[in-house]
Chains A and B, each alone.
Chain A
Amino acid sequence: MSRPELVAPPEIYYGDVEAKKYTNNSRIQQIQADMTYRALELLNLPPDEPAFLLDIGCGSGLSGEILDEEGHLWAGLDIAPSMLEVALEREVEGDLFLQDIGQGIGFRPGSFDGAISIRRFDNTLRRSISVLQWLLNAETSHPTSSPPHRLTRFFTTLHAALKNPSRAVLQFYPTSDDQIQLITSIAQKAGFGGGIVVDYPNSKKARKVFLCLFVGGGGGAQQV
């Protein structure tokens, strides 16, 4: 079975039916919630302070709901209008934007206390998809659409939009060491420190990979 990011760009892939199916599946909601809690842990925010966070690839707002519960405010970006429609129907608290992060994002310097990006599961193909994988997907021959260009614009503008110090935690599913190398080297050029965090490295099923990026020292008290 092919990975969905190789099948079509997300704005084509997520039809209305798909988006609703995804959001109403309780197992998916649980996994999404667990990953969001873990991402929050890795963000290492100052304790008991409400933060203003960016959810990259917010989808229907499943992660956003956790951010609400934890007392944070957030803005969410997604390229799939049908997912954002579901988020509206569910009356999430965050501000939503239709955006292709491969084009770069337009926020003033230091706008956010942190950023998260959690995979979305695809119901039909039964595979999870992350924002970083979408960035690696070059769907046209135009030079501005090459994966390195898209990654560079994303990381450069994300770095600028984050407070110093702070962190961005992006969960993804790398397919090769070369892919990790490409992503981390472009993130470094954009000014980020940090690296890859792997949970349950020895379990094929439970294994989770997070790109944990630091602006400045990364903030917080303890190391990851």
Chain B
Amino acid sequence: MVRLITHNLLACHAKGCTSNNFPLQFQDVSIELRDADFNADFLRGFLPRLEWPALVGAARQLGDTSLPAEQPDMIDDEFLQKLHHVLLEIHVEEGAMVCPNCKHVYPISNGIPNMLLAEHEIG
């Protein structure tokens, strides 16, 4: 499963691709929704690690518009519930992620992204 929690951390690692290599763009994706245990402590702790605009953009690409464009100052339970759903309950099952810089395509099959590089792409 690719969930937005890990997508928000993923950058292209092809040779020489060191700038504008994040976030990877979703392409032709199909998603599944699955319930996950809600953990407010984890979400609060993880919040500073998120690239907010990238998360909102990726969520919109997947058809979820529940998050505000700007990260709110007040972290209440209602907001954490939305964040929980976006980060942990949307699973990308098929499709691909494309690097915005070098255009490398990372295919996603059966929920597993193939991060393998070709010989000439290895740094």
Contacts and interface: CB of A to CB of B under 8 A. Distances in A.
Contacts of B1: 95-96
Given A50-B41, A96-B111, A144-B122, A157 B49 contact: no
Size class of B's contact patch?
Answer: 20 to 34
A148 to B, nearest CB: 14
A157 B13 contact: yes
B113 A106 contact: no
A23 to B, nearest CB: 17
A63 to B, nearest CB: 17
B21 to A, nearest CB: 8
Most buried by A among B12, B46, B51: B46
B101 to A, nearest CB: 12
Interface residues of A, number: 32
Interface string B78-110: 000000000010000000000000000000001
Interface stretch (A107-115, A128-136, A203-211): A107-115
Contact of B13 (A85, A95, A105, A110): A105
A123 interface: no
B5 A73 contact: yes
Query: At the interface, is chain B mostly helix, strand, loop or mixed?
Result: loop
A108 B110 CA distance: 24
A184 to B, nearest CB: 22
Contact of B2 (A49, A95, A104): A95
B57 to A, nearest CB: 15
A49 B40 CA distance: 11
Given A103-B13, A108-B51, 15 more contacts: A49-B45, A52-B46, A52-B49, A71-B39, A73-B5, A75-B9, A88-B111, A96-B111, A97-B112, A97-B115, A98-B113, A106-B11, A106-B13, A108-B22, A157-B13
